[in-house]
């Protein structure tokens, strides 16, 4: 990786306020010249986590967590180094030097984000062209505002619609494969993974499309829900569907309601409950529990009363109980 110069990092940190960065995620209390809070990196009752506005670093006397605004974002928001730098730069209104963004791995990831964004746009155009898909959304009461809010689209019923539209050369085809948008059969033939499905883009914490969930229109078809596979951008055990939209809808989330599927999230938003999220074809993981509590102090699980819903409820309890503490 091309390295960012130390001078750039120093300048970036000088123009960022660690109290503001930490304080927007952890409830800080002023204590003399410093600020303190219960440590977000270990369980404790008496605060031993301090943020120093003069030294611009944080330190925990309990677990030894220590660092700058950059390491805080990396550890708390779980960002990669360069993403943390970009987040700070964006807040400070500084441009990250271009050459650092030109290394191969980085530009490949950027291309993957762009490919998924293009796929989302394609699905939205196909929704506009499909009365059947629009009828389905109408029947579920999803209005234009929420279709736009969630970027809902439609994958046409064909084996190479997306492949033909976006995989126009060998490099783009390979790119689509890496994003999980194509499947390959035993004979090596590559085709669209999502066909004749209502498409729900899954956004990351910065609002970028990182994967899709597709729901069948035809009740008889299976599987009812199909998600993107795990990719470099998408780790289903760490993402929550709807979290980006919930964070956009509220300045501060008082609570989060975890439901079973994308349509449940969209339906709740449609009825004015804009704090709903869903796990993505997986039980609630420890990472999910952390992510939920980082975003809201109160978390509710609301699953179907059938056997699957009860199992999901139990798994949620198992993930959440070990992380309970005062205020959660």
Nearer to Zn ion, 40 or 242 (CB): 40
Nearer to Zn ion, 62 or 297 (CB): 62
Considering only 4, 9, 11, 41, the residue that binds Zn ion (CB under 5 A) is: 41
Question: Minimum Å distance from CB 74 to Zn ion?
Answer: 16
> What's the burial of 188, exposed, middle or buried (CB within 10 Å: 0-12/13-18/19+)?
exposed
Nearer to Zn ion, 38 or 261 (CB): 38
Contact range with Zn ion by CB under 5 A, out of 38-46, 113-121, 208-216, 229-237: 38-46
Is the N-terminal amide bond of 313 cis, ω within 30° of 0? no
Nearer to Zn ion, 65 or 268 (CB): 65
Rg, the chain, Cα only? 22
Reading phi first (left if > 0) and then psi (alpha if -120 to 50, else beta), residue 4 is in beta
Among the residues of 38-100, which ranges form H helices? Answer: 69-76, 81-92
Map residues 261-290 to x or -, x wherever contact with Zn ion holds by CB under 5 A: ------------------------------
Nearer to Zn ion, 25 or 206 (CB): 25
Considering only 28, 39, 182, 291, the residue that binds Zn ion (CB under 5 A) is: 39
**Which residues fall within 8 angstroms of residue 299, CB to CB, at 6 or more apart?**
255, 256, 257, 258, 292, 293, 320, 328
Nearer to Zn ion, 60 or 88 (CB): 60
Q: Is 325 among the residues that bind Zn ion (CB under 5 A)?
A: no
Question: Minimum Å distance from CB 190 to Zn ion?
Answer: 48
Nearer to Zn ion, 61 or 81 (CB): 61
Cβ contact 196:221 at 8 Å: yes
**Which residues fall within 8 angstroms of residue 282, CB to CB, at 6 or more apart?**
236, 237
Residues 262/238/126/194 CA torsion (nearest 10 deg): -100
Considering only 3, 30, 31, 42, the residue that binds Zn ion (CB under 5 A) is: 42
Q: Is 89 among the residues that bind Zn ion (CB under 5 A)?
A: no
- Pairing, β 298-301 against β 255-259: parallel
Count of C-beta atoms within a 10 Å radius of residue 129: 10
Cβ contact 197:217 at 8 Å: yes
Strand partners, 183: 191
Question: Minimum Å distance from CB 42 to Zn ion?
Answer: 4
How many residues lie near Zn ion (CB under 5 A)? 7
Question: Minimum Å distance from CB 63 to Zn ion?
Answer: 3
Nearer to Zn ion, 2 or 63 (CB): 63
Q: What are the φ/ψ torsions at residue 130 (nearest 5 degrees)? A: -115, 100
Map residues 146-165 to x or -, x wherever contact with Zn ion holds by CB under 5 A: --------------------
Question: Minimum Å distance from CB 293 to Zn ion?
Answer: 15
Question: Minimum Å distance from CB 71 to Zn ion?
Answer: 13
Question: Minimum Å distance from CB 115 to Zn ion?
Answer: 40
Question: Restricting to residues 53-72, which ones interact with Zn ion according to CB under 5 A?
Answer: 60, 62-63, 65
Cβ contact 198:217 at 8 Å: yes
Interface residue list for Zn ion (CB under 5 A): 39, 41-42, 60, 62-63, 65
């Amino acid at each position: 990786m091309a390295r960012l110069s130390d001078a750039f990092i120093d300048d970036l940190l000088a123009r960022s306020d660690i109290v503001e960065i930490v304080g927007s995620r952890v409830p800080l209390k002023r204590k003399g010249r410093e600020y303190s809070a219960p440590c977000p990196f270990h369980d404790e009752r008496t605060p031993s986590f301090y943020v120093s506005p003069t030294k611009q670093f944080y330190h925990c006397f309990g677990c030894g967590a220590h660092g700058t605004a950059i390491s805080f974002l990396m550890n708390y928001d779980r960002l990669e180094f360069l993403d943390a730098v970009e987040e700070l730069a964006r807040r400070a209104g500084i441009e990250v030097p271009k050459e650092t963004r030109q290394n191969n791995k980085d530009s490949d990831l950027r291309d993957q984000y762009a490919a998924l964004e293009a796929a989302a746009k394609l699905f939205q155009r196909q929704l506009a062209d499909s009365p059947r898909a629009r009828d389905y959304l109408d029947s579920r009461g999803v209005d234009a505002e929420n279709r736009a809010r969630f970027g809902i689209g439609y994958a046409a019923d064909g084996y190479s619609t997306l492949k033909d539209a976006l995989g126009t050369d060998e490099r783009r085809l390979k790119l689509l494969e890496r994003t999980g948008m194509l499947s390959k059969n035993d004979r090596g033939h590559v085709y669209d993974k999502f066909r004749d499905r209502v498409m729900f883009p899954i956004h990351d914490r910065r609002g970028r499309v990182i994967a899709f969930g597709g729901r069948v229109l035809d009740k008889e078809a299976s599987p009812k829900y199909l998600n993107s596979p795990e990719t470099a951008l998408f780790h289903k055990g760490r993402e929550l569907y709807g979290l980006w939209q919930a964070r956009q809808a509220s300045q501060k989330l008082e609570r989060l309601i975890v439901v079973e599927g994308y349509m449940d999230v969209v339906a709740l938003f449609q009825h004015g409950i804009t704090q709903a999220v869903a796990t993505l074809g997986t039980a609630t993981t420890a990472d999910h529990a952390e992510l939920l509590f980082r975003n809201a102090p109160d978390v509710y699980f609301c699953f179907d009363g059938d056997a699957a819903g009860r199992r999901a409820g139990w798994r949620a309890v198992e993930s959440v109980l070990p992380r309970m503490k005062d205020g959660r």
